[in-house]
Structures are given as C-alpha cells and as structure tokens.
Chain A
Amino acid sequence: MIRLGDGLRSSIGTKFLMAVSGVLLLGFVVAHMLGNLQLFLGHEALDSYAQKIQDMGALLWVARAGLFTLLVLHVGSALKLTRQNRAARPIPYGVHKPFQSSYASRTMVMSGVIVLAFVLYHLLHFTFGAVDAESYALAHAGAGLQVHAMVVHAFQQPIVALSYMLAMALLSLHIAHGVGSLFQTLGLNTQRTRCAATRLGKGVGAVVFLGNVSMPLAVLAGWVGGN
C-alpha cells in the first residue's frame, strides 16, 4: 500500500529520521563528554585516551564518516521540516502567544543552528588548529598528544571558556526537548510515559550541561591546570 521510501518522505517519516539520527548523535555527545571528563584525572589519563583514539587509524575514519552521515541526516531533515513549517504560515500573526509549550521546544531551530556553528568552531579549534593555534600547538609539541595542556591553555582564556559554556547551554536546551519528544515522535509514548519522557529530557539535558560545563569552569577557576 505504501513504499517505505515514500513513507519516510512524509512529515512524520522525516521526523522519524530526525529522531533516530538525533538519539544516535546524543550517544556520541555523552560518550564524548565521558571521555573528556578524564580531564579531572590528570594529564596522563586524558593524553593516553586521546592517543588511543588517534591510533585507531581506519576505524577512526569509519566513526567520523558515520557521525558525518548522522549529522547530514539530522540537519537535512530539520531543513526540510522547517521549510514545510514556514510555508504553512505565510502570513504571521500580529499577536501569538504560547499556551504551555516550553522555551526549548519553540527554539529548536535557533539552538540547532547555534550548536551546528559551535561544532564547526570546535573542530577548527581542537581538531584542525585553525583558531587559537597557540593551544593547538601545545598538543603537538612533544612526542605524544598533549591534549590536557591544550585544553587547559584554551580554557584559561575567558572568552573561549565562556563561548564553550554558552554553546553547552544551547546544546542542553536542544537535547532536553529532543529527548523529551523523541518517544512521542517514534510512537513509543503512552499516556503513562509522556510526562516521564519530558522529565527524562530535562534530566539528560542537565547532565550534559553540568558535565560539559564543569571542564571550562574548572580550568577558568584554576582547579585544573592551576599552579
């Protein structure tokens, strides 16, 4: 009666793709955060962890390709849905007020775009060394990777630390609504689970925020890498 490809092109089908790619990207965000939190275990722990990832060789490129595919799926479906949503209301209201929607749910496009910009900046910063080259040079100064020194040097600059923290606030906002609503989108909610899903979203958002913000904050405060 309907081909799978056609079914996935509808608004709900596109949302399925966005939800599934989103939850997989969230998996990366959490794993990335847990790895980075080794910052608190000292430079040996973090540096050897970074070296291990670097030594994965071809496997690393497979992972990168997978992440890139997920990102394209997620952003692509968001673009398609946003275009459809904008077209559905060509004449805006003079006055339009939300009833009960959360701020996070109404600003997914805004938070998504800012997080995407942050991802690019983050890659240029720590992966390519195109910005803040001084910090990047520190990582590649010795024999092995000196990631700990690089991160500490970067976050000792208040503007860098603050921009990371701001980006994490928006990422957490994005995740809070994304996680809270993905069960609804995928049709996994029942009357009993909907409120729990909303709470879970807020919880995951808070964990991602606190975990990630703790690092620039600790460096900025001198708890990590201080003299």
Chain B
Amino acid sequence: MKLTLKVWRQKNATAAGRFESYEANDVSPDMSLLELLDVVNEQLVNKGEEPVAFDHDCREGICGACSMVINGHAHGSDRGTTTCQVHMRRFTNGDTVVLEPWRAKPFPLVRDLMVDRSSFDRIIASGGFVSVNTGGAPDANALPIGKVDADHAFDAAACIGCGACVAACKNASAMLFVAAKVGHLASLPQGQPERDARAVNMIMTMDREGFGACTNTYDCEAACPKEISVDFIGALNRDYRKALSSTR
C-alpha cells in the first residue's frame, strides 16, 4: 500500500518547526509505524537528507519510549497500545498519516518527534518513593498484602511514564501520571508513612514544572497504553484534600 507521511521536522528546541510530507510506497500492512519510519529514514539517508529523529526502545509495547501523536491521537487511536504497536493495517491505501511530538511546555522538544520528559523524573524525585532505613532486606513474606490491594497497587504501578496522558489532555495536564504514582504507593502499607507529604509534594512539583490542570475530560485514560483508570485521579484528589485538612 501507499501512504503519505506528514511529519513534524524541527532541528532543535529553539529552531522553527514545520510539517514535511514524505511518500511511502510498497508499505506492508504488517509493518509497525516505527518500521515505516525506519524505511522512510533509509530513503532520506540515501538521498543525503537528515533522517527523522524519534524515540524508541523495546518496540513491543512495554517501555513507552515511542512518543508520537498519530493523526491527532497520542500513541494512535487504539486502546491500550503504544506507537510501536500501531500497524499499517490500521490505515487504508492512500491515507495521510500526520506525526507530531508530544506538545507540552514541560516536555521541551529535542528534535523532530523527540521530546525531553525529565520533568516526570523531577516529579518522581519529589515524592514518588518510599524512604527506608538501610540494613538487611526484610523477608518477602514479612509484610502480607491482600490480593485486592496488591492488584490495585499493580494497576497503578503499570504506568510507564510515557507522557501520553499529557499529550492527549487538552490542558497538557500530568494528573493521570501523578495519580498513578501516588496511587501505587498509597495502596501499599510501605507507602503510608509518607502518604500526605507525597501527594502534596508531587502536586506542587507538577504545577511548578508547568503542566496544566485537570478538567476531568478523561481523554488521558483512553490514551494511556497501560489503561490506567482516572479513578486514581479521584483518589489523588482525595489524598490531597485529606493532606490539606490535616495541616497543622
């Protein structure tokens, strides 16, 4: 099949960007979007042009490095998938595929489709951990955790920090990411001692980094490749409210 790619090209964070069109012929329906970009890049290199820069790593839907907005949808329009799981059979012959980077102020553009997501790391560093004293590792079964709690914690812990929630949100809000990280530890006994401070500090860092606020449109949940529920956002709001009411 034949596809037209409309790709955002931008040399660096400060340069002006623009869409460039590339024709892709003989596209196999079994190709992933990243493989298509590989082919297009090969053509570009052979012509002596700069290849399209994009993030990718595992290419099997685990890591979430492949950050792209495809025809207006973060990671493509399918539920529970990443960009590398978007296959060309999802398009029809002659389609135009528009590829853009995540667009958010806290995700500064590095080049073409690559953005810098270290603002997420700074949010984690401000509270997304459990402080432990050094010493011998505790026995694995010393702290029993019920199946329901464990599953709930895991649902949140499935977040891979890809940033699709931010990319899909009309406000570029990071609430689903922060909610997943806070909700993961809030579901476990180890997370309890620092629970209030964690919610407050991570929210404050989120605001400071320049993310938008939540309008409860719930587009983030649909964009999330790990299908993390917006119920965690409700729980984060609850934790934050409780932290405020217990202020001294």
Nearest CB of chain B from residue A84's CB, rounded to whole Å: 6
Do A194 and B206 touch across chains, with their CB atoms under 8 A apart? no
B105, B211, B223: the one contacting A90 at CB < 8 Å is B105
Is B176 on the interface with A (CB-CB < 8 A)? no
Q: Which of B58-66, B85-93, B213-221 contacts A (4 or more CB under 8 A)?
A: B213-221
Do B170 and A97 touch across chains, with their CB atoms under 8 A apart? no
Do B105 and A88 touch across chains, with their CB atoms under 8 A apart? yes
Residue count of chain A within 8 Å CB distance of chain B? 48
Residue count of chain B within 8 Å CB distance of chain A? 57
Nearest CB of chain A from residue B111's CB, rounded to whole Å: 15
Report chain A residues within 8 Å CB of B171. 84-85, 88-89
Report chain A residues within 8 Å CB of B238. 187-188
Q: Which of A171-224 contact B (CB under 8 A)?
A: 177, 180-181, 183-191, 194
Is B52 on the interface with A (CB-CB < 8 A)? no
Given known contacts A8-B244, A88-B173, A93 and B103 CB-to-CB distance under 8 angstroms: yes
The secondary structure that dominates the B interface is mixed
Is B84 on the interface with A (CB-CB < 8 A)? no
Do A15 and B173 touch across chains, with their CB atoms under 8 A apart? no
Do B219 and A101 touch across chains, with their CB atoms under 8 A apart? yes
B69, B106, B239: the one contacting A96 at CB < 8 Å is B69
Do B241 and A16 touch across chains, with their CB atoms under 8 A apart? yes
Mark interface residues in B209-248 (1 if CB within 8 Å of A CB, else 0): 0111111111101110000011101111111111110011
Is B207 on the interface with A (CB-CB < 8 A)? yes
Given known contacts A11-B203, A13-B244, A88 and B212 CB-to-CB distance under 8 angstroms: yes
Do B217 and A187 touch across chains, with their CB atoms under 8 A apart? no
Q: How far is the CA of A99 from the CA of B219 in the complex (A)?
A: 5
Is A81 on the interface with B (CB-CB < 8 A)? yes
Q: How far is the CA of A95 from the CA of B213 in the complex (A)?
A: 21
Do B235 and A187 touch across chains, with their CB atoms under 8 A apart? yes
Report chain B residues within 8 Å CB of A92. 103
Do B217 and A15 touch across chains, with their CB atoms under 8 A apart? no
Is B98 on the interface with A (CB-CB < 8 A)? yes
Q: Which of A76-107 contact B (CB under 8 A)?
A: 81, 84-85, 87-102, 105-106
A77: nearest chain-B partner, CB-CB = B213
Nearest CB of chain A from residue B75's CB, rounded to whole Å: 10
30 A-B contacts (beta carbon < 8 Å): A1-B196, A2-B247, A7-B244, A8-B244, A10-B204, A11-B203, A11-B206, A13-B244, A15-B214, A16-B241, A84-B212, A85-B173, A85-B215, A87-B105, A87-B212, A88-B172, A93-B69, A93-B72, A94-B100, A95-B98, A100-B219, A106-B170, A180-B216, A181-B216, A183-B234, A184-B233, A184-B237, A186-B237, A187-B239, A194-B234
